[in-house]
Every structure is written in C-alpha cells, then in structure tokens.
A and B are shown apart, each in its own frame.
Chain A
Amino acid sequence: MMPMNSLTDNMATFAQILRQLGVRVSSAEMVDAIRSLGLINMTDRQQFKMALKSTLIKSADDFEAFDDAFRMFFVPPEAKEQGQAAWEERKQENECRNQQAETELQFQGKPLELSEELKNVYSRLSEQDRQRLQEFLEKTSKGNNVKESFQPVAENIIKSALSYWQRQLSPEDLAQLANARRQLTGMDEIDRITEAAAGLGGNGRHSLLYKNMQEITEDEIPQVTVLIKRLAQRLNTHISRRYRTTGKHKTVDLRQSIRRNMRYGGMMLSLKHKTKKIHKPKMVVLCDVSASMAKYVRFTLPLLFGMSKVVKHIESFIFADDLEEATNYFQRGQDFNKATNELLSETVQMGQGTNIAIALNSLRKKYHHLLTPSTMLIIVSDAKTLSPLEAGAQLADIEHKVKKILWLNTQSVERWEENSAIPIFQRYCDMVECYSLVHLLRILKKNFATPA
C-alpha cells in the first residue's frame, strides 16, 4: 500500500484518482491547489473541499466525479481501512468467480480461452444457465470423432452465448463489468476509489449526459431533445475560411479600401475591413431505425429533431432496408411528439432488417443533388448490416462527392471488433462511438469547434 503520510502525497494520489475518472488535472493546477490550501482554514472541511474543487475542477460536468472521489478519499483512517478491507474481499471474490469459470468451462479437460469479462459474465448467470453451458461442453467434448482441434469452434459458441447473456444483464451488472474493464493502476487505494466513484455515476445534475441512450425513459425525452438542440447550436456558428466585407474591424480589405479612398486622392483615410464569414454547413443525416437500433430510437429521433431545429440546411433520412426521407416531419416550429407520431405511423422502415448498401444506393441515385463538396454526411447506425462489402463500395463512391462522412456508431468501441463490416466502413469515413450525449458533445467539439 502507498505510504500516505504527507499532504503532497495525499494530493498526488487524489489527483491520480481524478485522472482515472476522466478529469484532466495538470501539474500547474496541482500547484495551485496546494498553494490554495495554505490560504484557507484546513480544518474546515467545506473550505478545504472548495479550495480543491475550484482549483482542480474546471468544468461543471466534472463536479460529480470530484464530489464522489472527495467523499471517499478524504475520510478518517478507520473508514479508509474498512473500505480497503471490503475492496480486498471483492477482489478475492472476483478471482474466485473467474477461477470457477475456468474450472467449469472446459473442453476435453482443458479450460476455454475466454476474456476476463466473459468469465465475469458467466459467473453472474443463474445456476440453471451455467449448468446448460457446462452440459453443452460436456456433450461436445465426448462426441464421436471430436478432436482437440474442435476446441476453437466450441469456444466461439460459448463466446456467442455469453455475449448474448451480457446484453441481457441489468444496468448495475453492466456498470460492474465496465469497472472490471477499467485499466487498473495496480495501486489499491487509487483503484478502489476509482471503481467506487465510477460505479456511482448517474445521480448528478448532468447524469443524462452520461447515460447510455438505450436506457433513457419516455419522460426523459424532452430533456434529451432540449440538450441535443443546445449541443447542435454550435453547428450554426461554424466559422469558415472565407471572408466577407464587414463594418467590424478584422483584416483590412485592400481592394475595397483603395477603391473607396480614390476620392481622397489615394490617401487611405477610410479603411474597409473583412472578417471570416459564418459558414452554415450543409448536412445530410441518415439515421438507422432497423430492429437492432430500435432501443436507440429515443436518442436518434430527438437527435434528428434537435438538429433540424437549429441547422438550416439539413436533410434527414431514416433507413433500415431502404431509405426514407424524414426532413418534412422535422420542419421548424413542429412539435416533437407530433412529428415523431406522424413519422412512426407512416414509415415502413421502423424495425426492419438493415441493408445499408441499398439505403446508400438510394441516396446516390435519388438524392445525388444533396451530395456536394460542402456536404457533411452523418450516419447514425450500429453498422450491423447485410452485404457489408456492397455498402463499403457505396460509401467509397459517396466519399468522393462529399466533404466528409461522419459515422456515429451506437455500439461501444470495445464491441467493434465483433463486427467485420466496421473495418471496411472505417476506410471511407470517420467512425466514432456515440451512445450518450457526452459522446455527442465531444464529437461536436472535435468536428465543429475549429474553423473549417
């Protein structure tokens, strides 16, 4: 265990915990924090907390992580010891669970090669489900002409079954799994508090920002729509490289200035200026509403609606096994519930199988006028599709026609390797994970914050 007998040690450990929780803390901020402690009454817990909070945390989005980490880290030594003991116990319990998975999931006496995560999923199954998997392995092990080389096949079947069960886990179990995936530092104090604080996410002011969009409830949709609209606002203030003449001072427009000052005999008394003009981007958004994307419809439809409200030149489409135009449903001034009810009652795409190739082909053929060098094509989909090679070819063709293709994938990056279509699509587009509003925020910040 780390020796923690000085304020500086404690502060360094605390900063490390914050960094593990995704909060950016620089060395300069650490110096400020330590300096600030010399200016306050350190025995006053609230003052102590505020000194750290105002010098280390520079965004309200990080308050929740800070509050949790502070509450768990700055505790009396007895409470710290208790927490440490409980953490050791849990670690041991996890090891036992993984051991159990290794012992029970064997093929011809050899343990299967499964990831720690899948072993963890296995240990969370009911006795009955575990028994079923064991019976399957036992039977296949003893089958006629079953050789050792058959193990990878059995392994793949078990992996698919466990992946299926993983999708059925409760949000609490999924959160624990996510924690298990988290990179541990090897330092018990840091790992314990990081895990505990990360597991708490979801109670704060901005919890909706971090929520997986497949879990949002009906009554949260208005808030989601408002947040998306607010996030999408920045699309409207995208600054272009091109200049326009303006009364505001920026850069001298020599051509206009010379012309204007001819009347003063060429003496430059009155200058004309130019400034960067605000670029209103053209956007085409394709939103996957197939069966596999059904659980994200509470995210994707508000996304289409929110973007249509704030971006002037936007064309929206929904697709599953073909493309359907949705721009008219989301016109300005239209109420969200009314728009979605109309769309849902009239569309035939909702809940169908996915064929991105057909959808992209329709886009190229019927809406080719929308694909211009100033168009940004945004695709919202989990990339699970039939005919991925054909879809890749369509994408390659569209890539030459538009400015950029941005693919918002609702699957987490960890799952991408399970989908062989993704590497094909990634050749022609920027693919980013996007299953929460905080992802959307980061995407907008990255793609639209700087001048084009």
Chain B
Amino acid sequence: MDITLQNLAQGFETEGYIGEQDLLTTIYLALTLEKPLLIEGAPGVGKTEIAKVLSHIFQTELIRLQCYEGLDENKALYEWNYQRQLIKIQMSKELACGEISEQDIFSSEYLHERPLLKAIRAEKRAVLLIDEIDKTDEEFEAFLFEILSDFQISIPELGTIIARQIPVVILTSNHERELSDGLRRRCVYLYIDYPTIEKEIQIIQTKIPEAGERLAKQIASAVNHLRQSLALQKKPSIAETLDWTRALIALHADCLEPDMVRQTLGLLLKHRDDLLMFQKELGVDRLCSLAKDAASALPNGKCNHGG
C-alpha cells in the first residue's frame, strides 16, 4: 500500500479506529520519515491499538516487545541457546566426532531471536511495538535508542546485521517515568488525550454496535463527567468505557439506570479512594441524571466527528 494520508485515513476507518486528522498526520510523518513513533497518553486511550491497526493495514507481522522493570538485552535482542550449545559440545566429545569449531556452535541454529532482532531480520517491513517503554530502566533505554538510530545490530560471533527493511517502530509510554531526551529526540511524538463526548459515542457505536444511540450517548456523557469533575487517581479509559458498555448490554440496559450502574461501577473506578470520592462527591443517582441531561442535549443521529 502506498503511504498517503488518504490511504491511512481509509485504513484506520476500515479497522474501526476513530482517529482525528492530527493523529493521522503524525502517524503518516513517522511512516514517511522512517522514524519511530513515540505515543504517550493515559492508559487505555488506544496507544497500543495503533500498532495493531498499522500491522493490519500493511498486512504485516506485529512484533511486540512488552517492557518491564529489569528487561535487558538478552530478552529484547537475542540470546545464545546456552544449554543447547553445552549439550552439543558434550555430545561431540562423547561421540568422538572430531573437534567442533566456534562457528559450529555460534550459528543461527543456536540463536534465540528476540523481538528487536526479529524485527530487523524480517523480510517484510514489520511493525515493532515497544510497549510501555517507561517501565524499563534508563540503561535499556540508552541501548534501545542506539538501535533505533541505525537499525543495525552487532553480534560479536556473527557480525553486524543490518535491517533488511526499516521496521515501523511504535513506542508507547504511560508517562510513569520521564523518558530521556535522547530517545525523545529520535522519535516523532504523538500524545493521545481522552476523547471528546462525541468521539467517544462514535467509538462505542463502532466497537459495540449493539449499544443503541441513547445508551451510547449516556455512557459517553457519564464517563466524560467522571473524568472532568472528579480528581480521580485513575480516570476511566476508553477501554474501560467499552468494558462498561458491554457489561450494561449484558444486563439488557438500554439507558443508564442507577441499579445497573451500581452493579457495574467496578468496571470504571478501580481504586478504593476513587470509589469513596465518587460516593461522597457525586453518587450513582446524580451521575445517571447528569448523564441523561447531557445526552439529551446532544444532537440526534450518528455523530460525525472527525476531531
């Protein structure tokens, strides 16, 4: 597929990802400049989803490196199959099949390919998702941005491996730790904020068509109100809105009813302090009535909001 803004917009629409023009322009630039795309935003706003959508659009493999504290080069890049090498040495001794050379045991056969190496050696331009980069330590980050600059890896026993195709690299961060300037400088930057009510209605209706217009509007209004009016420790994300919608549909809801909201509130608010604050400052009844009022003020028909 040729990379143009129009094609990208079409691809995202086909994949059911509601993206504004600004988001698409940034992704388009990252793809055409062949630079990694660093996406920041609260958890659950659709950062990881972008990598999945891109892999579908380009019909290519999605290679995922899930970051965690203590992640090192062995888990991210490559590792020699140490046990297999030892067994090979032992066997060659016991079977007396002659001396084995270094090349015999340091060949691709004994190499555990990890996500970074896999992306670099891929035949077709792959999508490499480096998820939650803020969870790793700074050492790993420094190692990573060297790879992302040159797209080549040196394995002492094998030599330098240069990327056949520069992969599409998507890095996501929940901003739990400040990333280094070096890494930021090498990336194109995208920040995804919580959606507007109109956009969230569109997302609900696209992802869960069973949700009627009235319910979608009320849910989006309620979630928006929670995000705006309460200083929550963990604001409900789009993913949580969708989970909540599914739960309400499972309870055969066609509009927000206090009892159903009470039963399903745990899908939206996941901190004890947040639940206490909600009960103290807002309450289920008031949330339902505010959401209904706000939803009734929205225009009828399917929202056509581009951002």
Contacts and interface: CB of A to CB of B under 8 A. Distances in A.
Interface in A193-239: 205, 222-223, 225-226, 229, 233-234, 237, 239
Given A29-B185, A63-B191, A250-B70, A39 B33 contact: yes
Given A39-B32, A51-B25, A60 B40 contact: yes
Given A32-B33, A36-B29, A40-B25, A55 B177 contact: no
Contacts of A269: 83, 86
Interface in B255-286: 276-277
B61 interface: no
B50 to A, nearest CB: 13
Contact of A267 (B25, B86, B138): B86
A59 B184 contact: yes
Contacts of A449: 138, 177-178
A413 to B, nearest CB: 22
B143 interface: no
A103 B82 CA distance: 85
Contact of B181 (A24, A35, A223, A275): A24
B137 interface: yes
Contact of B82 (A24, A239, A271): A271
B178 A54 contact: no
A450 B138 contact: yes
Interface in B1-58: 5, 21-22, 25-26, 28-30, 32-33, 35, 38, 40
Contacts of B176: 233-234
Q: How large is the interface on A (under 10, 10 to 19, 20 to 34, 35 or more residues)?
A: 35 or more
Nearest to B182: A26
Interface in A80-109: none
B191 A60 contact: yes
A75 interface: no
B43 to A, nearest CB: 12
A217 B151 CA distance: 50
Contacts of B226: none
A250 B72 contact: yes
Contacts of A441: 178
11 contacts: A26-B185, A29-B185, A36-B33, A47-B25, A54-B29, A54-B30, A58-B181, A234-B176, A237-B69, A250-B70, A335-B276
B177 A222 contact: no
B187 interface: yes
Interface of A: 24, 26, 28-29, 32, 35-36, 39-40, 46-47, 50-51, 53-55, 57-60, 63, 205, 222-223, 225-226, 229, 233-234, 237, 239, 246, 248-250, 267-269, 271, 275-276, 278, 335, 441, 445, 449-451
B65 to A, nearest CB: 15
B187 A58 contact: yes
A239 B181 contact: no
When A and B form their complex, which 5 residue pairs have the shortest distance between CB atoms, in order from nearest?
Answer: A58-B184, A222-B231, A54-B26, A50-B25, A60-B191
Residue from A36, A271, A445 whose CB has the most chain B CB atoms within 10 Å? A36
A198 B177 CA distance: 27
Nearest to B186: A28
B234 to A, nearest CB: 10
Given A60-B175, A63-B191, 10 more contacts: A24-B181, A51-B29, A54-B189, A55-B29, A57-B189, A222-B231, A226-B231, A249-B79, A250-B72, A268-B86
